[in-house]
Amino acid sequence: MAVKPLQRSLAEHSGADVIESLSIQHVPFAERHGKLWKQGPFWFQGNFQPFTLSLGFIGPGLGLSVGWTVLASALGLLVGTFFMAFHASQGPRLGLPQMIQSRGQFGYRGVIVPLAATLFTFVGFNVVDTIIIGNGLQAVFGWDATVVGIGITVIAVVLAVYGHDWLHRAFQVLFWCSAPCWLVLSVGILAGQVAGSAEAGADGGGGGGVGVGGFTLVAFMVQFTAAAGYNISYAPYVSDYSRYLPRDTPTPRIIASVFGGAAGSPMWLIPIGAWMAATLGVNDPLAGILDAGDQVVPGLGAVLTLLSVLALVATMGLNAYSGMLTVLTGVDSVRPLRPGRRARVLTISGLAVVWCAVGLSVSADFSTALGNALLLMLYLLIPWTAVNLVDYFFVRRGHYAITHLFRPDGIYGTWAWRGLVAYGVGLALMVPFMVVGPFTGPVAEALGGVDVAFVVGLAVSGVLYYVLTRRLDLTTEEPAVAASERELALGEPVLVNDSPTAAGTPVVNGTSAVDK
pLDDT value, residue 230: 86
Domains in the chain (CATH in brackets) are 3-362+386-512 (1.10.4160.10)
Distance of alpha carbon 42 from the chain centroid: 13
25, 27, 28, 31: CA torsion to nearest 10 = 140
| Residues 411, 483 contacting (CB under 8 angstroms) | no
For the whole prediction, is pTM greater than 0.75? yes
Which H, E and C letters describe 389-432, residue by residue? Answer: HHHHHHHCCCCCCHHHHHCCCCCCCCCCHHHHHHHHHHHHHHHH
Secondary structure class of 136 (helix, strand, coil): helix
Q: For residues 313 and 49, give the distance between their C-alpha atoms in angstroms, rounded to a whole number.
A: 9
Report the percent of the chain where pLDDT is more than 70.
Answer: 86
Q: For residues 474 and 102, give the distance between their C-alpha atoms in angstroms, rounded to a whole number.
A: 17
Q: For residues 419 and 222, give the distance between their C-alpha atoms in angstroms, rounded to a whole number.
A: 29
In this predicted model, what pLDDT tens digit does every residue of 350-391 receive, in sequence order? 999 999 998 888 765 554 666 677 678 788 889 999 999 999
pLDDT value, residue 419: 97
- pLDDT beyond 50 at 207: no
* Beta-carbon-side half-sphere exposure of residue 321 (alpha carbons within 13 Å): 32
Q: DSSP readout, 347-389?
A: HHHHHHHHHHHHHHH--S-HHHHHHHHHHHHHHHHHHHHHHHH
More confident residue, 308 or 132: 308
Q: For residues 41 and 168, give the distance between their C-alpha atoms in angstroms, rounded to a whole number.
A: 9
Which residue, among 96, 151, 150, has the nearest Cα to 495 in the 3D structure? 96
Q: For residue 9, which amino acid is it?
A: S
Among 27-31, 96-100, 121-125, the range scoring the smallest mean pLDDT is 121-125
Containing 443, the helix (H) or strand (E) segment is helix 442-446
* Beta-carbon-side half-sphere exposure of residue 30 (alpha carbons within 13 Å): 8
No. of helices (H) and no. of strands (E), the chain: 20, 6
Q: DSSP readout, 94-111?
A: H-S-HHHHTHHHH-TTTT
| Residues 422, 111 contacting (CB under 8 angstroms) | no
Among 265-269, 289-293, 477-481, 492-496, the range scoring the smallest mean pLDDT is 492-496
In this predicted model, what pLDDT tens digit does every residue of 443-452 receive, in sequence order? 999 988 888 8
Among 33-42, 198-207, 311-320, the range scoring the smallest mean pLDDT is 198-207
Alpha helical stretches, state H, 144-232? 145-162, 164-190, 217-232
- pLDDT beyond 70 at 500: no
Give the list of residues 6+ apart from residue 151 with CB closer than 8 angstroms, or none: none
pLDDT band (50, 70, 90) for residue 140: confident
More confident residue, 231 or 498: 231
- pLDDT beyond 80 at 2: no
How many CB atoms are located within 10 Å of the residue 33 CB? 11
Among 18-27, 210-219, 237-246, the range scoring the smallest mean pLDDT is 210-219
Q: For residues 205 and 208, give the distance between their C-alpha atoms in angstroms, rounded to a whole number.
A: 9
pLDDT value, residue 409: 92
Secondary structure class of 211 (helix, strand, coil): coil
Q: For residue 349, which amino acid is it?
A: S
pLDDT band (50, 70, 90) for residue 497: very low
pLDDT value, residue 505: 37
Q: For residue 455, which amino acid is it?
A: V
| Residues 205, 278 contacting (CB under 8 angstroms) | yes
- pLDDT beyond 80 at 306: yes
Q: For residues 326 and 402, give the distance between their C-alpha atoms in angstroms, rounded to a whole number.
A: 18
Paired strand residues for 511: 508
Secondary structure class of 254 (helix, strand, coil): helix
